[in-house]
Structure formats: structure tokens, C-alpha cells
Chains A and B, each alone.
Chain A
Amino acid sequence: MDQNAEVALPAVETLGLTRRFGSLWAVSELSLEIAAGSIFGLLGPNGAGKTTTIKMLTTMLAPSAGTARVAGFDVVRHPVEVRRSMGYVSQMVSADGALTGYENLLLFARLYAIPRRLRRQRILDALEFMGLSESASQLVRNYSGGMIRRLEIAESMMHRPAVLFLDEPTVGLDPVARHAVWGHLRGLREQFGTTILMTTHDMEEADELCETLAIMNLGRVVAIGSPASLKAEVGSQANLDDVFIHYAGGSIEQGGNYRDIARTRRTASRLG
């Protein structure tokens, strides 16, 4: 793999990426290019294929057809290199409440093979960056929802990943916590050049944070562009809600399944 070319390459690149479950085409022929250092939002109704796409990009699910590269590495042929180059924050509340903030980070510092002599400093830096230094030795079960989410982002960035995948990063957070998370994500990109790929149902978040948006529906990308250009295409007064309904409205009542919805509600209620 040519390391020098990495910066010029798109951070994420898919070509005809497809995943079928039996007769269901969860993702069909997805071709995307995400520029290094950008914040890219994936929108779409439940069941549109966003989560399946993220699972394939994070090497948790094998594609049925097509290819995908993350940080220049093929997700099927070099899954371990992909995992070394990425961070992942689940939509669910995944920090361990029975451990302290520091211990949560220590586990991931070890699993991401940060050398022992750098480990402590990396953890302290991550805590400081996310505004959690003072809560480092508290059990996470006593954290607020916004603090937990910031801790989870800290876990995923200690190894300085080239690409960060975020599944609905601010679901269930109050406006203050939400804006704090946005600030930290922008900071990550500015300080480390991290490329961010996120899914969201929050149109304000998509508008505020993302340079490029792709709207998925029934496994396909139906629109792609900057928030401003997408709004302009739909109408001069249009907001992103209008854009979303314009492209995905037809199927909005069919999508999603019980497990997805239950999971989102559970996350929202545990953070709220």
C-alpha cells in the first residue's frame, strides 16, 4: 500500500457496494467518494441502508458485491488495516457504566495498541480534549448523557484514526450537550484532519456540521451534495426537512424494523 498517496486518496471510497439479506436489497450498488478531512452525513429513513453501509465499511458485515476502501484499504482484503485506521462510535450507549472514564479509555488504548509509554498521556489528552478531565475517575454510570457521548468519541480517537464513523452521534441529547458534541467533532477535524462519516436523523445537525450529504432510500443514494445545493434544488425557501421529505417521503412509513426502533428509543431514554 502506497502510504504517500494516502492524503490524496479519498478517505472512503465505495464502488457498486451491495448487500442483500435473502431477497431484500439492503444496500444496492452504492458508489461514494468521501474526501479526506471532510464531514459527510448519511441521511435517510429507518431501513434505508445507512446502518448496513456503516457495518460494511467498518468490516462487521461482508458485502454481497462491490468494493469499499477505507483510508486506502480494502474492507474485505485488509480488514485489520481498516480497523487500525478507523474509529467507530455506536448509536447506542456503549461506554461501560461500571468502569471509570479513565478505565474505559484504558481498555481501548490497549486494544488500539497505543504503546505503553504513550498510553497515559494519550488518555489524559483525550479526556482534556473532550472536556472530561475532572470526571476521569468517576464511574461512568454517574455521567450525564452528553459526557457519555463525549467519552465514547474520546475512545474512538485515541489512536488518531484517519476516518471516524459515527452512528447518530447526538440522538437523545439535550441542545447544550448536542452543541458541545458538534464543537468537539469540528475540533477533531481541525486538529487531526479526521474524516468523519456520520448518520443522522437530525436535520439541524446535518445542516450545521456536514459539508456533504447523501440521502439514502431503499438501499440507494437518491441525492447527494452540499446542504445548500440540496436545498436549492428542492426550492428557494426549502429547508433540509423539505429536502428529506422530497427524496425519501414516499417510503417513510415502510422503513425500519422493530429492533432498530427499539434500539433508538432505548438510547434516547438512557441518555435523557
Chain B
Amino acid sequence: MPERGARPAASAEGLAILDFVRDTLALADVELRKLFRDPLELLTRAIQPTLWLLIFGQVMGRLKAIPTGNMSYLTFMVPGVLAQSVLFIAIFYGISVIWERDLGILQKLLATPAPRSALVLGKALSAGVRGLSQGFIIYLLALALHIPLRFRVGSIAGVAGFIILGSALFSTFSLSVACVVRTRERFMGVGQVLTMPLFFTSNAIYPLSIMPPWLRALAKVNPLSYQVDALRTLMVQGGQSVFGLGKDFTVLLLGLVFLVLITAKLYPNVVQ
């Protein structure tokens, strides 16, 4: 009899975390292979941020109505548009779990010993890589518009880190919604309802300082504000953090961990 059901001793306490990391990366790896094999999606996703920067940003910039301190409005807006385009990808990411349920892929993944949290985080990381592709496009656009960017390695690595963190957080949120609503039609409805409020109650296209108090209160509990704050600090010259980079990071990371744990619990609901 060959080693029946043998799983190596890697499941011993200290090594469980290695299993978790391996499973998470295995799932992210698969998503990336698919993405690079068929990158058309990434190009079509570039259209929306281009419109925001070339049309909305240019027009609003002429008004000089929004106080953005030592930087032009367009400069102020670039990190906001980056955060927004990352959000728009991530917030619809949850539909993939419904899609995979309908294809039988999810059932098969749930039948493996991989921890549910690794299934969730693997998806979240692949949303992060999609977000990075947006970052690349927006850097190119910003260069074309002569936006004063920071090019130090540390700044760019920081931007990449906050893109991945924000994408992972909002895509996990989206997965948790998918686990509750469980059909594509309902999910699309809910997705539409979520994106605009998240966007408008953040500091993406106007600063906290000009918000009425009630909106400022909402912006301060909206994780998108922390992502925008970090991106603005790291990406453009003259960017100054309102919350502090440490707080931005902590809020986003804690939010992600919390949502991964919740979603891992909800995950099996989708197939029932």
C-alpha cells in the first residue's frame, strides 16, 4: 500500500505558517500566469484613469478652486486616481468566487487541505498584482503630464506596497460580499452601490481640509483615505502625509487581516 493520504509532517505547529504561505503563493501564481497570458484586461482598465486625469483633472485644475497647498490640483489628484482605479478593480473582484463556484473550481479548492484563509489571501494578492499594472500605467500618464514624481527606489517600492495592500483589502471585502449575496446579479448590484460612496467619502480628489465635518468623519473611517494618503506622500513631490505613513500602513494591514479572517469563515457558504 503506498503512503495513503500521506501529508508530510509540515503540519506540525511551527510549520503551519509555511503551509499557509505556500498555498497562498500557489493560488496567486496561477492567477498571474493567466493574467500574463491574456493581458488585454489590463489595457482596457487603463482607459478610465486616463479619462479622469486628462479630462476631469485638466478642467478642475484650471479652476484653481480646490486648495491643494504647495502642489497643483493635477499633481494632488494623480495618487487619488491611482487609488481609485485600484479600488474599481478590487471591488468587483469578488465575482470571481461566484464564477468559480459555478465552474466547480471552488468546490475542488475547498476539498483540498489548504486553509480557507490561504484561498482568500491568494486571490487578494493576485488582485494586488492587477493593481500594480494600474500603477505602472498611471506613472506613465503622470510623466506625460509633467507631474513632479518621486523616483527614489524607496518611494516606488512604498507605492507598490500600498497598492498591493489596498487592492488586497478591497478585493477581500468584495469576496466577503460575494460570499453573502452568492449570485452574480445581486453581486453586480451591490458592487455598484459600494464603489462610488467609498470613492466620494475619501480624500482621493479633494483634501480632508475642505470637507464638511460629517464627511471628514466618514473619510477617517474609510480605508481608501489611508491608502490615498500614503500614495500621495510617497508618489508625488511635495506630498505630505495627513495621518502618518505608519498609521496608514497599520490601518490597512489590520483591515486586511480582519477581512481575511471573516471571509475565510464565509467562504464555504458560497457552495452550499
Contact = CB atoms under 8 A, between A and B. Distances in A.
Contacts of B10: 113
Contacts of A93: 103-104
B211 interface: no
Given A83-B113, A88-B108, A93-B103, A103 B30 contact: yes
A238 interface: no
Given A98-B38, A113-B19, A160-B5, A92 B103 contact: yes
B107 A162 contact: no
Interface in A41-98: 55, 58-61, 71, 80, 83-94, 96, 98
Given A60-B268, A110-B23, A110-B26, A99 B34 contact: yes
A159 B110 CA distance: 15
Contacts of B34: 96, 98-99
B109 A111 contact: yes
A110 B6 CA distance: 14
B271 A80 contact: no
A112 B107 contact: no
A94 B108 contact: yes
B113 A60 contact: no
Contacts of A111: 23, 26-27, 109, 112-114
Contacts of A55: 271-272
B4 interface: yes
Given A107-B26, A111-B26, A192-B2, A83 B33 contact: no
Contacts of A89: 108
B265 interface: no
A108 interface: yes
Nearest to B101: A92
Contacts of B26: 106-107, 110-111
A113 B113 contact: yes
A26 to B, nearest CB: 11
Contact of B5 (A84, A103, A110): A84
A193 interface: yes
Contacts of B111: 58-60, 83, 86-88, 165
Contacts of B27: 107, 111
A155 interface: yes
A15 to B, nearest CB: 22
A162 B5 contact: yes
A59 B107 CA distance: 10
B63 interface: no
B33 to A, nearest CB: 6
B30 A96 contact: yes
A84 B7 contact: yes
Interface string B1-27: 111111110110000000100110011
A250 interface: no
Given A90-B107, A96-B105, A98-B37, A161 B112 contact: no
B80 to A, nearest CB: 33
A98 B33 CA distance: 9
A25 to B, nearest CB: 16
Given A93-B103, A94-B108, A110-B22, 14 more contacts: A60-B107, A84-B7, A88-B107, A92-B102, A99-B30, A107-B27, A107-B30, A110-B23, A111-B27, A113-B7, A113-B19, A113-B22, A155-B108, A165-B111
Among all A-B residue pairs, the 7 with the closest Cβ atoms: A92-B104, A85-B5, A94-B104, A90-B104, A88-B111, A110-B26, A111-B112
